[in-house]
């Protein structure tokens, strides 16, 4: 496998901590396995999160191709967009972010940080409008003399997913130190790059765990199919002889709730539980739903209590702030 030869621009503070969540285990009681939190909310790039690991590979490629501007897209509270803006600031490129306001456009959280990081932000009303702008923005920038490097939503292309292949090596070393062989690793899944990288890494490095993605939008069937294709393409890029099918790409869509960017009652419960037991802060759109899924599995006895599990905390903290009071109430709506 050619992982070590793929150029990487260092942006992260790694390894991120792997911590045992003993207070959470105590609240869950006898049904609880040993729970470890892999703190990728602490990757260290402008408030951290999973995208930093992808951006290390993507920006190295952008620099190699002589890019002058990083372009990406997402919702207004996109963590990926904020970290792309941070990456551009560090390497001295411009950043153009095309963001849809389907869940509001309050100048808070990630959007505020995008502006502070000096990104050029174009806010459009919805996802369709965003796609339309993305189709022409490359040409527009080229016509004005720029060399754009377009990063698809979430950085979920094979080169971005490589960041999570490498992360498997990191966590396996940490698990060895604490003599653990967890049966599952849970993560939030959306544009699928994180889970694709983890799935390839788990295969390449013979990890003991199955990667369990928790959807934050979409259906499990569709996500598994698209995710398996991305995993196979990532393996190809690494010259790893492996093919993945939807059966190898486990996604649970029971905790999507009212949809992307909308809080769910179970997610809010997970946010409060992790805050008061571990002082770990989850976000309503991604990590809260993933944690809600893991908690439901534990409470239903789906995991052997003699075993260990890992929850990958993928970040999202800055998007907590626009929610305000809504975080303290059981609501199914986005912040106004
Ligand atoms: C906090 C957080 N967690 C999880 C994800 C999902 O990662 P992926 O898009 O690679 O599936 C994202 C993506 O935007 C995110 O911002």
pLDDT digits (tens, 9 = 90+) for 94-110: 999 999 999 999 999 99
Residue 78 annotated among the catalytic residues of the structure: yes
Instruction: Determine the average pLDDT of the residues in 204-212.
Output: 98
Sheet holding 308-313, edge to edge: 18-20, 34-39, 308-313, 184-189, 210-215, 250-252
User: Same domain, yes or no, for 42 and 108?
Assistant: no
Could you tell me if residue 336 is inside a domain? Answer: no
* Domain assignment of residue 101, yes or no: yes
Asked if residue 225 and residue 252 are part of one domain, the reply reads yes
* Domain match, 12 and 62 both: no
In testing the pocket of ligand 1, which one of 79, 217, 227, 319 has its CB within 8 Å of the most ligand atoms?
79
Structurally, how many domains does the chain consist of?
A: 2
Q: How far apart are CA 118 and CA 267, in angstroms?
A: 32
Q: Is residue 305 part of a domain?
A: yes
Please answer whether residues 223 and 197 qualify as being in contact, where contact means their C-beta atoms are separated by less than 8 angstroms: no
H or E segment at 129?
helix 127-143
For the chain, the average pLDDT equals 96
Same domain assignment for residues 298 and 179:
yes
Based on the domain organization, do 37 and 68 belong to the same domain? no
Average pLDDT for 126-133: 96
| pLDDT bracket for residue 329 (50, 70, 90) | confident
316 lines ligand 1 (CB under 6 A): yes
Calculate how far, in angstroms, residue 228's C-alpha sits from the geometric centre of ligand 1. 17
- pLDDT value of position 330: 58
- Cα–ligand 1 centroid distance for 297 (angstroms): 21
- Residue 335 in any domain: the answer is no
Last residue of a domain, one of 154, 180, 198: 154
Mean pLDDT value of segment 134-144: 96
109 within some domain: yes
pLDDT tens digits, 256-284? 999 999 999 999 999 999 999 999 999 99
Q: Which CATH number does the domain housing residue 97 bear? A: 3.40.50.1100
Question: If you count DSSP H runs as helices and E runs as strands, how many of each does the chain have, helices first?
Answer: 10, 10
The pLDDT value given to residue 336 = 38
- Same domain as 319, residue 222: yes
Question: Whose CA is closest to atom 3 on ligand 1?
Answer: 314
Q: Is the pLDDT of residue 245 over 60?
A: yes
Of 68, 141, 75, residue with least CA distance to 114: 75
Residues 318 and 196 in one domain: yes
Q: Taking residues 229-251, what's their average pLDDT? A: 98
Same domain, 113 and 15: no
The answer to whether residues 199 and 315 belong to one domain is yes
Query: Which letter does DSSP use for residue 100 in this model?
Result: E
Collect all residues with Cβ–Cβ distance below 8 Å to 185 and sequence separation of at least 6. 38, 171, 198, 202, 207, 209, 210, 211, 212, 309, 310, 311, 312
**Average pLDDT estimate for 219-242:** 98
Q: Quick one: the chain helix, strand, coil %, rounded to 5? A: 50, 15, 35
Would you state the structure tokens that stand for residue 281, as one six-digit string?
A: 């802060």
At 335 the pLDDT is 43
Q: What is the pLDDT of residue 1?
A: 83
Per residue in 29-78, pLDDT (tens digit) is 999 999 999 999 999 999 999 999 999 999 999 999 999 999 999 999 99
Last residue of a domain, one of 154, 187, 203: 154
pLDDT value of position 332: 47
Confidence of residue 254 (pLDDT cuts 50, 70, 90): very high
Same structural domain, 312 and 276: yes
Instruction: Confirm or reject: Cβ of 188 under 6 Å from ligand 1.
Output: yes
Q: Tell whether 115 is covered by a domain.
A: yes
Is 192 close to ligand 1, i.e. is its CB under 6 Å away?
Answer: yes
- Domain C-terminal end among 98, 124, 154: 154
Over 60: is that where the pLDDT of 291 sits? yes
Q: Is residue 333 part of a domain?
A: no
Atom of ligand 1 nearest to the CA of 192: 11
Res. 237: pLDDT tops 80:
yes
pLDDT > 70 fraction of the chain, expressed in percent and rounded:
98
pLDDT tens across 143-184, in order? Answer: 999 999 999 999 999 999 999 999 999 999 999 999 999 999
Are 237 and 105 part of one and the same domain? Answer: no
Domain check: are 206 and 238 in the same one? yes
Closest CA to 290 of 225, 165, 178, 198: 198
Domain that holds residue 68: 52-154
Q: Which atom of ligand 1 is nearest to the CA of 191?
A: 9
Domain assignment present for residue 120? The answer is: yes
């Amino acid at each position: 496998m050619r992982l070590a030869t793929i150029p990487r621009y260092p942006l992260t503070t790694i390894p991120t901590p792997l911590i045992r969540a003993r207070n959470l285990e105590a609240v869950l009681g006898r049904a609880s396995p040993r729970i470890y939190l892999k703190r990728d909310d602490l990757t260290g790039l402008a408030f951290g999160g999973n995208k930093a690991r992808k951006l290390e590979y993507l920006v190295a490629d952008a620099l190699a191709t002589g890019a002058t501007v990083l372009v990406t897209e997402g919702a207004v509270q996109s963590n990926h967009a904020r970290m792309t803006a941070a990456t551009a600031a560090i390497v001295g490129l411009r950043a153009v972010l095309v963001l849809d306001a389907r869940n509001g456009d309050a100048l808070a959280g990630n959007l505020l940080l995008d502006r502070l990081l000096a990104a050029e932000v174009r806010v459009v009303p919805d996802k369709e409008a965003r796609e339309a702008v993305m189709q022409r923005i490359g040409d527009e920038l080229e016509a004005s003399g720029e060399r754009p490097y377009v990063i698809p939503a979430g950085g979920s292309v094979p080169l971005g997913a490589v960041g999570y292949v490498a992360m498997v090596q990191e966590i396996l070393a940490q698990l060895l130190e604490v003599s653990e062989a967890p049966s599952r690793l849970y993560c939030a899944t959306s544009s699928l790059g994180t889970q694709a990288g983890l799935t390839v890494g788990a295969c390449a490095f013979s990890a003991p765990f199955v990667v369990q993605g928790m959807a934050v939008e979409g259906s499990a069937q569709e996500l598994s199919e698209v995710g398996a294709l991305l995993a196979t393409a990532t393996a190809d890029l690494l010259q790893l002889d492996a093919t993945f099918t939807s059966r190898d790409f486990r996604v649970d869509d029971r905790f999507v709730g009212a949809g992307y960017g909308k809080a769910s009652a179970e997610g809010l419960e997970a946010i409060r539980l992790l805050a008061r037991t571990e002082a770990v802060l989850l976000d309503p759109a991604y990590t809260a739903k993933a944690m809600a899924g893991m908690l439901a599995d534990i409470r239903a006895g789906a995991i052997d209590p003699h075993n260990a599990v890992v929850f990958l905390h993928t970040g999202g903290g800055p998007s907590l702030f626009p929610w305000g009071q809504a975080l303290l109430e059981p609501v199914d709506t986005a912040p106004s």
